[in-house]
Structure formats: C-alpha cells, structure tokens
Structure 1
Amino acid sequence: MNDRAPAPGGLALIQDLVNTLDIEARTDELDTEAGRERFGLAPADVDAARELRESLRAVCLAHAGHAPHQEVRPLGELLAGAPLLVRVDGSDGAASLVPAAPGPLVSRVAAAVAEAVVAGTWSRLKGCEAETCRWAYYDRSPGGRGRWCDMGVCGARAKMRAYRARRGPGRVRATGATGAADPAPPAGPSDTP
C-alpha cells in the first residue's frame, strides 16, 4: 500500500517486518518460506516474530497518535532480553550497537531501535491511521505530522469519509457536465404526503 521511500538505516528492517502483514488483503508473508527467509526465521520462530511485529506496530501507531490496534506485549519487554554489543570502529572511532550473536530477529530489531533513537528518527516510524491498513511508514513531512502511509489511497479514503460525514445523508446530489450541483427537482405529486 505504501508508496513512500523506505525508512532510513535499521528502521527499514522494522518497517519491512511490520509490513509483512497486509490487513486489507488478509495475507501474512511470514506464512511463506520466502517471507521467513527474508528475516532469517525458521518455522518455529514465526510466533515470536509475529508477537514482535504486532508490538512494533503498536509503537508505530503510538508515534502517529493512534490507539493500539490490539492488546500486545510491550515492546520494551520483548527487547529487554536482546543481547547487544558496542562495536567501535578502529579507523574513525565511530560506535554502534550490534546484536551479540548473528541471526536473532529480536536482537537486530533492538539494534535498529537503538540506532534510530540515537539518530532521532525513531518517532518518525509510524503506523497508518486507516484501520484496514496499519502499514508502517517513515514520516518525512517537515512537521512530522503524517497520518497515512499513502495520501493517494488511505488519506484520500479518510478525507472522502470525513467529507461525506460532514455533508450528511441525502445531501449529495449528482453533478452535471460542468461539475456544478444539479438543482433539486421540483416537488411533484409523488413527493407530497
């Protein structure tokens, strides 16, 4: 659904993981071998990956000011057991957090979160407001107030629903070729009580 550019740095991993579930299409990439391979998961790891994904989605929704989509285990609890190491580059002294052991998804996610917190980008990874979407996207708007993954789809749908709600039932009329609203038809015998 999302037509935006991928999130920067390690946030791309988190964005990709959250977006393995397509709520509207009711498909889950973690159900496929290719989807599991993308994240280095064995079939036995899928339940834990799904729990991590939904906790990440809840945080992304919170970043955008939306209520959680469902009851989830707090992300902090899931990341607490992820062993990380500080890696210092000998050539320039740059330091970064990296997973202590290669492979575990939770450790890679924890390292990505830490990197994003330091970079000041963590709160820009958001969850789409649309209940049929909830896609993760990186908000590049100047004020950081993006609400939808794609303004042309989810945003347009939300704005159209709001417009229709403001207009109220029975207030929408057909438009003519000029785009102007056609006048209401005159009251006839069938329109009177």
Structure 2
Amino acid sequence: MDCGGRTVTVSVLTPEVLVDLVNGWGARPRQEGLRTDEPLPRLDSLGDLSLPGAVRDALDADAVARVADAIHPVFAAADAPGCADRLTRLLSAAGARPVLAAAPDDTFHAVWSVAATDDALLAAVAVTLRTHLAEHGWGRIGLCAGAHCADVYIDQSPGGRRRFCSVTCQNRARVAAFRSRRAAGAG
C-alpha cells in the first residue's frame, strides 16, 4: 500500500488490544488451547489499533496472524535480556522511529513512525509492549501457567503476581492441584 511517500505514525495500543490480538490470532495460543478448528476472530473485533484508516482497512487476516506470531516469543522469553533482545529486533524490523509531533496548542507529544505501511501494525504492537516494559518491567508479562494454554497476559494488578491468562485457567489449575493432592492423600 502506498501512502504517497509519507511515513505512517502509530500510537501505543491498550494492553487489552495487544493481548486480544496475540491470543486470538497467534498460531501457538490457538494450537495449545485446542482452538485451531475455530475461525479466526473478525478483523473488526480487534478494537482500536490507533492506525490511520487506510492502513487499518488494508489489513488482512494473514498480516494480523504474522504480527501475533512475531510478538508471542517476546512474552515467552525466559529472562529480561532475552525479552529485550527479541523486542528490540522487532522494533528494528518494523523500522519504528520515535517522532516528536506538535499539537495545535503548541504542546508536543511523542509518536512513532514507520516508512512502510505494511509494518505499521507490527510497529504499533512492538511499541505498545516496549512502553509497558519500560514502565512496569519484564515480570509483568508472560505466558499462562495453565496446562494446555499458551495465551499471553499483561499483568496490571497492584500485586504483580499474575500467572494465568484468565480466571478460567487459574480455576482449572486449582482444581487439578486439589485433585492431585487428594489422590496423593488417598494412596
């Protein structure tokens, strides 16, 4: 897609949009969660991607799935340096550059730009995760600890102890642990 030689600016997404994108469109979360027979979500279910209309309108399911698959390994990194390295490579691959934009009231705000419109979604996703990691640290993202689940989460809780993508996975793990303890006590 051509934007007349202009760069495209992208903004930080909400953590919820990022998680929905990765979990709904990523191959690994869909495979491990036994959801491969389910159709992919509708493109209009992605929420506010903060992309220019023409860029968003040009998105297709394959492009969204590629971005979800590209960002999933950042959440799966075993340590903070590995996470930083993976995310830095994605920011570089997308060609994301920080830009200072002037608002009509003569104030400034930071945005990110990419030269290739095909890289806009990857840049928006990578910038969102970069912003969250810079503010909250590596311990606030991860893969669900539930069995048969590779969904990602972004922990926004006050305690910062989240380990599951949802209450459903957390409850399944608790029930399995209870049954295991009960079976061990009966033997």
- The TM-score with structure 1 as length reference comes to 0.58
Equivalence map 1:38-187=2 (5 Å): 38=46, 41-42=59-60, 45=63, 48-49=66-67, 51-59=69-77, 74-90=86-102, 91-104=106-119, 105-120=121-136, 123-151=139-167, 153-169=168-184, 171=186
Higher relative contact order (CA 8 A, sep 6+): 2
- Which runs of structure 1 show a deviation greater than 6 angstroms over 4 or more consecutive aligned residues? none
If each structure's helix is expressed as a fraction of its own residues, which one has the higher value?
2
Which range is displaced more, 133-142 or 117-126? 117-126
Identity of aligned residues (%): 27
**3-state DSSP class of the match of 1:87?**
strand
Structure 1: where are the runs of 5+ without partners?
1-7, 64-72, 173-193
Structure 2: where are the runs of 5+ without partners?
1-11, 47-55
The one-character-per-residue Cα deviations of 1:6-56 (angstroms, maximum 9, x if unpaired) are: xx9443342122111444342377x64834995754466467335314324
What is the CA distance between 1:84 and its match in structure 2?
1.7
**3-state DSSP class of the match of 2:162?**
coil
Partner Cα distance (2:142, 2:126) in 1: 17
The corresponding residue for 2:8 is none
What is the CA distance between 1:145 and its match in structure 2?
0.6
Q: 2:35 aligns with which of 26, 31, 34?
A: 26
Partner Cα distance (2:111, 2:64) in 1: 28
**3-state DSSP class of the match of 1:141?**
coil
State which structure, 1 or 2, has the greater radius of gyration over its C-alpha atoms: 1
**3-state DSSP class of the match of 1:130?**
coil
**3-state DSSP class of the match of 1:126?**
strand
The one-character-per-residue Cα deviations of 1:37-88 (angstroms, maximum 9, x if unpaired) are: 95754466467335314324424x868xxxxxxxxx9444343312123232
**3-state DSSP class of the match of 1:168?**
helix
* 8 A contact 1:57–1:134 mirrored in 2: no
Partner Cα distance (1:44, 1:155) in 2: 31
- The TM-score with structure 2 as length reference comes to 0.60
